Structure 1
Amino acid sequence: MTGSTPPSPTEDRIPGSPAEPRTSGDDQHLRILSTSDLAGIDISLSDVIATVEGAYRTLYAGESDNPRKLTVKPKDGHSVSYAMLGRDGSRDVVAIKTSYKHGLDKGREEQHYYTSLTLYDDVTGLPVAMMDCSRIGSLRTPAVSALLARELAAPGARSALVVGTGTQGRLALPFLLTALPGLERLMLSGTHPEGIQAVRDELHRHFPGRELELVEDLRAAAGDADVIVATAGGHTPAAIEADWLKPGALSILVGHGLAPSTLHRADRVVATSEAQMNVTGTDMADAEGKLPAVDTEFPPVLAGVAAGRTGAEERIFAYNSGLVVTDIALGHRFAQLALEQGLGTEVAVWR
């Protein structure tokens, strides 16, 4: 259920962003933004990329805080839970994100996944909103992959391969094309018919004139790709090896689909966060359970103070782990748009 609530008298403006109203409410109510509320909000891919890039730049400037995520996982591995706290210094917003997935030992259709984001205005001290974070994540992650590709792909990159057709795979190509409009060959490796069709639908929705090539020979496709984005689930049989890659290839790991050799034998390793890679990337460890050190994290690359690629023939491995500051920035952007459209339900939580 949604309801229209007039803007609170406590709203003011974000410093440096006069066109963007604050969205804080009062000290008794919390605005709840449901899955259906957020689904109805129209936002362009370029807006998402710009919002995420701004969050990275603010983090590198030392104006934001992004502590290491907390993880809880039972011994049998049937579920995993994450908690992430952060502060966006440009928006003056503090937020907590939680993520819980159950049924990791089962097929995709039997799994349960819940994620939420709660934002607070750090100027007024009042709550902004609590929202389902699934759409935020489905947009933020491919936007980060697109930024990684823009900064790290070899000059003149023309071909891209996406592995996986789940939530992250479905928007990977539209975001890549937004950041790298020179891409000509768009390849997909997937096994689920519904997922494959969903990838096609998203590509045609955002880029009506572009066609998708479904590949059967993964090794050959990987050898032709300038950019590889691996988004598959944990049960995928896909595992691209380092010696399949062409000189200059960029491999971006989001989920699964790359073998550990692509990391350990890379000429250069870039991570959105080395600390988070060491927490969530343990499946890429070597026989001794170790991960290599990264050559650079991504925020300084975006800021122009660290080199992303240092040679046209370098094979680069990039680890895309979500930083909560990007969720905060994008979640706050959605909260602004929701307020403008009168979306959400005000719940009296603290009375």
Structure 2
Amino acid sequence: MNHFSKGPSMDRDDTTLRVLSTSDLAGLDMPLADVVDTVEQAYRALAAGTSDNPRKLTAKPADGHSVSYAMLGRDGVRDVVAIKTSYKHGLHESRDRQHYYTTLTLYDDVTGLPVAMMDCSRIGSLRTPAASALLARACAAPGASTALVIGTGTQGRLALPFLLTTLPTLERLLLSGTHPDGIAAVRAELARHFPGRDVELVSDLKAAAREADVVVATAGAHTPVAIEADWLKPGATAVLVGHGLAPSTLHRADRVIATSEAQMRITGTDMADADGNLPAVDLELPAIVSGVSKARTAAKQRVFAYNSGLVVTDIALGHRFAQLAIEQGLGTEIALWK
């Protein structure tokens, strides 16, 4: 488990705010196991009632060309309060034509002083696949040996290294993707974290889905790929992060797990049935990682897991990155309240 210090090691000036840019955070690194531990600890604290994660606020224009979110939370382990914002423009465009901005602002709830404001894209790029890997570990049937990742974007590139971190017994790693640069990036990340391991690029997605014990769908909104429920083998776990799973995988699942049911009902509307309904969630991930309940009750159950971001995990990971950056003298001091 990561060790961390609280407010006294952070900024002591109540008129300035330390701003950490994309480049400030780019040079900082954490072992994947530490990222997983940090995220898991955040879920445990939420399950224990020591942290707060209110429902996110959403704003979206009628034509759906953009979406924005605001998320407030409090980490009771670190005594840190934070606000995360997320704004994406050009949802009808290809990924390279979209504009996306996300920030995280942290406050020390012991001293009452600001910690830092940072670009949150790096935090999200680590937090999300760590959560997917925790869902996979919690939901995978005994003896799971084959994993299939759909998509080669930001989440797809780290999905396999994180899966191997929580499920080290995985033997076959399959990838469904069409972008050469993305495929190369997936292979590069896998080699960086797990030298000697490689991934098999699949052309027949239906056949690959029938072989996979764990499927992690990270594709973008414009993907034509959509695995159907009857493609999944008995005992399979399907984790939805972005796109790549058809609604049938949710509605016909034997068990439905979510990081948050409330969040799923906000961001998972594309998985609704013809009447606009989503099925009830059997369990949430915080209860599973805290040891209160188990995700599956039988080895042959098909499990659907929905990964939506919880701001408490951003806070925990963001606070750690802020500490590392401040220790190295990174960032720019802004006299915001002066």
Q: Shift of residue 278 of structure 1?
A: 0.2
Map of 2:322 onto structure 1? 335
1:186-265 equivalences under 5 Å are 186-265=173-252
Map of 1:6 onto structure 2? none
* Distance change in 2, residues 1:335/1:323 (3 Å): same
Map of 1:175 onto structure 2? 162
Map of 2:112 onto structure 1? 125
Given candidates 306, 315, 325, the residue that maps to 1:319 is 306
RMSD, aligned CA: 1.2
Deviating more after overlay: 297-306 vs 134-143:
297-306
Write the letter of the residue equivalent to 2:32: L
Would you say the 8 A contact 2:7–2:111 is kept in 1?
A: no
Would you say the 8 A contact 1:33–1:132 is kept in 2?
A: yes
CA deviation profile, 1:124-159 (whole Å, cap 9, x unmatched): 000000000000000000000111111110111100
Given candidates 52, 59, 62, the residue that maps to 1:75 is 62
Structure 2: how far apart are the matches of 1:316 and 1:335? 36
User: What percentage of residue pairs aligned between the two structures are identical?
Assistant: 77
Structure 2: 5+ residue stretches without partners:
none
- SS at structure 2 position matched to 1:100: strand
- SS at structure 2 position matched to 1:286: coil
- SS at structure 1 position matched to 2:308: coil
Given candidates 290, 293, 302, the residue that maps to 2:289 is 302
Given candidates 4, 23, 30, the residue that maps to 1:36 is 23
Map of 2:153 onto structure 1? 166
* Distance change in 2, residues 1:193/1:132 (3 Å): same
TM-score by length of 2: 0.98
Write the letter of the residue equivalent to 1:242: A
Would you say the 8 A contact 2:8–2:111 is kept in 1?
A: no
- SS at structure 1 position matched to 2:101: strand
Write the letter of the residue equivalent to 1:332: H
* Distance change in 2, residues 1:80/1:28 (3 Å): same
Alignment pair present for 1:287 and 2:260: no
- SS at structure 2 position matched to 1:149: helix
Given candidates 80, 88, 94, the residue that maps to 1:93 is 80
Structure 1: how far apart are the matches of 2:9 and 2:144? 40
Given candidates 137, 153, 171, the residue that maps to 2:124 is 137
Alignment pair present for 1:51 and 2:69: no
- SS at structure 2 position matched to 1:172: helix
Q: Shift of residue 34 of structure 1?
A: 0.4
Given candidates 82, 97, 115, the residue that maps to 2:102 is 115
Q: Shift of residue 341 of structure 1?
A: 1.2
Q: Shift of residue 19 of structure 1?
A: 9.1
CA deviation profile, 1:215-244 (whole Å, cap 9, x unmatched): 000000011000000000000000000000
Would you say the 8 A contact 1:270–1:317 is kept in 2?
A: yes
- SS at structure 1 position matched to 2:265: helix
Map of 1:4 onto structure 2? none
Write the letter of the residue equivalent to 1:100: Y
Q: Shift of residue 21 of structure 1?
A: 6.1
Structure 2: how far apart are the matches of 1:235 and 1:252? 18
* Distance change in 2, residues 1:65/1:145 (3 Å): same
Given candidates 129, 134, 146, the residue that maps to 1:147 is 134
CA deviation profile, 1:174-209 (whole Å, cap 9, x unmatched): 000011110010000011111111111100111111
Q: Shift of residue 18 of structure 1?
A: 5.9
Would you say the 8 A contact 1:25–1:31 is kept in 2?
A: no
Map of 1:350 onto structure 2? 337
- SS at structure 2 position matched to 1:171: helix
Write the letter of the residue equivalent to 1:223: R
Would you say the 8 A contact 1:24–1:124 is kept in 2?
A: no
Structure 2: how far apart are the matches of 1:268 and 1:19? 39
Structure 1: 5+ residue stretches without partners:
1-15
Over 4 Å off, 4+ runs: 16-21
Given candidates 249, 253, 257, the residue that maps to 1:270 is 257
Would you say the 8 A contact 1:162–1:172 is kept in 2?
A: yes
Structure 2: how far apart are the matches of 1:335 and 1:28? 18
- SS at structure 1 position matched to 2:103: strand
